[in-house]
């Protein structure tokens, strides 16, 4: 780097270092010159046209561009650490002076410690037993009586000179050892400080890990709670969807209720389908229809099974029990030929399904073999259109109870299974 002196003369930085205690070589002023970096020199370098010293004619440009270009020539690797350099001089200086992996001799090689180790491990070598043993031998040799007698046995006039010379030789050998020992102590101190810093960081990481673990467990519990809340809300929403917005539906003015059943839902789910809840009047009986597939094991025939059940209502206390108003269940003919399939429910005043409900629902009054499933599902069926059939329930409030209907007109139902056919309100 060039420096500019107070006298405006430029000269090399190294020359300034060698002569800073003398007079200025340009203006002959005594003392140390007031110098500062030469910014003009830097600007001149940036404008200077220069060729690449490695590839010559292959590059010609300004100095900043050369610095970038030289990175392409960084192809001289150090055999010890594989770091790459541009010029052989750089590589040589690195190998012999700065490379941490260069092999160096022990400072006590003159005493027999002939170990050669990489420079980065020399401090560790100074602390091992092998090196320490030679160091002790060296100290003992200096302080041994034989060494002193050897010095004192010379001529008296040369004794002082010989003794001084011997001490100088020993001091020249001891000083590097002291410097190495000091450096080793500093390294040990730095390693100890770094160890404490690392232990502090590890303890901090452990504390954070415990906090993260606790936070994760709390998050898992929170997610489980949220999942349970969502499940409960979904269940409530499904129940709300299954009920009409304006409350239970009322029978039509002619005493009928019609339920649309998707045939695919009935055949694919193999479960009991249930209609919406309906009332005979605003303060009347609360009813629901059921539909499912019934398998007759003796004949291996599948049937459509239709049932009606009485649910516990808000006005049961003012109604007449048992409920004996005639009920007729019908699968509606959709062809217009009025070939409906109808069954009247057998009304026995002693039947449990007709009594006042003590639970959410009474057992259903069921016609298990209402109509063969095969006839319902065949092509061009009168009873299915667009994957839907319609089941109608008719309650006769005008004719009174079924006591006026002959027994021959009433079809008795098979025994019902109250546990299997429980209906939720």
Cβ contact 289:261 at 8 Å:
no
At 332-359, the pLDDT tens digits run: 999 888 889 999 998 889 999 999 999 9
Q: Assign domain 2-98 one CATH number from 3.20.20, 1.10.10, 3.30.40, 2.60.40.
A: 3.30.40
Every domain range in the chain assigned CATH 2.60.210.10: 249-409
Q: CA dihedral in degrees (129, 107, 97, 121; nearest 10)? A: 0
Cβ contact 289:275 at 8 Å:
yes
This prediction has a pTM of: 0.41
Looking at domain 249-409, its CATH class is mainly beta
Q: What is the DSSP string of 152-212?
A: HTS-HHHHHHHHHHHHHHHHHHHHHHHHHHHHHHHHHHHHHHHHHHHHHHHHHHHHHHHHH
Cβ contact 411:346 at 8 Å:
yes
pLDDT band of residue 405 (cuts 50, 70, 90) is very low
Sheet holding 327-331, edge to edge: 256-262, 388-395, 327-331, 341-344
At 302-311, the pLDDT tens digits run: 999 999 999 9
Least confident range of 166-170, 241-245, 285-289, 339-343: 241-245
Every domain range in the chain assigned CATH 3.30.40: 2-98
At 95-104, the pLDDT tens digits run: 888 888 888 8
Token reading at 414: 């098979």
At 145-185, the pLDDT tens digits run: 555 555 555 554 565 666 567 667 777 777 777 777 777 78
Token reading at 216: 């994760």
């Amino acid at each position: 780097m060039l420096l500019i002196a107070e006298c405006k003369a430029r000269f090399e930085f190294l020359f300034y270092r060698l002569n800073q205690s003398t007079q200025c070589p340009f203006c002959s002023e005594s003392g140390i010159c007031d110098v500062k970096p030469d910014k003009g020199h830097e600007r001149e370098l940036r404008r200077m046209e220069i060729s690449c010293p490695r590839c010559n004619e292959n590059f010609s440009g300004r100095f900043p561009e050369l610095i970038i270009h030289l990175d392409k020539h960084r192809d001289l690797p150090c055999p010890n650490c594989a770091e790459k350099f541009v010029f052989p001089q750089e590589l040589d200086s690195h190998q012999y002076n700065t490379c941490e992996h260069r092999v160096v001799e022990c400072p006590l090689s003159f005493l027999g410690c002939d170990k050669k180790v990489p420079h980065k491990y020399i401090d560790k070598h100074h602390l091992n037993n092998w090196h320490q043993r030679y160091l002790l031998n060296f100290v003992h040799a200096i302080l041994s009586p034989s060494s002193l007698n050897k010095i004192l046995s010379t001529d008296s006039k040369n004794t002082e000179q010989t003794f001084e010379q011997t001490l100088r030789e020993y001091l020249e050998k001891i000083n590097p050892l002291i410097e190495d020992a000091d450096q080793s102590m500093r390294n040990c101190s730095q390693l100890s400080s770094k160890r404490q810093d690392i232990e502090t960081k590890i303890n901090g990481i452990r504390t954070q890990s415990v906090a993260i673990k606790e936070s994760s467990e709390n998050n898992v519990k929170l997610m489980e709670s949220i999942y349970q809340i969502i499940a409960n809300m979904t269940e409530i929403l499904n129940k709300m969807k299954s009920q009409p917005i304006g409350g239970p539906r009322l029978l039509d003015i002619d005493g009928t209720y019609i339920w649309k059943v998707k045939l695919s839902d009935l055949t694919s789910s193999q479960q009991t389908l249930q209609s919406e809840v309906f009332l005979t009047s605003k303060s009347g009986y609360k009813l629901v229809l059921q539909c499912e597939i019934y398998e007759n094991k003796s004949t291996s025939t599948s049937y459509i099974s239709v049932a009606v059940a009485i649910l516990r209502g808000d006005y049961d206390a003012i109604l007449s029990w048992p409920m004996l108003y005639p009920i007729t269940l019908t699968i509606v003919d959709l062809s217009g030929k009025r070939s409906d399939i109808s069954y009247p429910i057998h009304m026995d005043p002693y039947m449990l399904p007709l009594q006042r409900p003590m639970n959410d629902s009474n057992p259903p009054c069921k016609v298990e073999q209402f109509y063969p499933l095969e006839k319902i599902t065949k092509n061009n069926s009168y009873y299915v259109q667009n994957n839907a059939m319609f089941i109608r329930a008719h309650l006769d409030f005008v004719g009174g109870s079924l006591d006026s209907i002959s027994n021959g007109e009433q079809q008795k139902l098979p025994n019902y299974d109250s546990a299997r056919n429980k209906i939720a309100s």
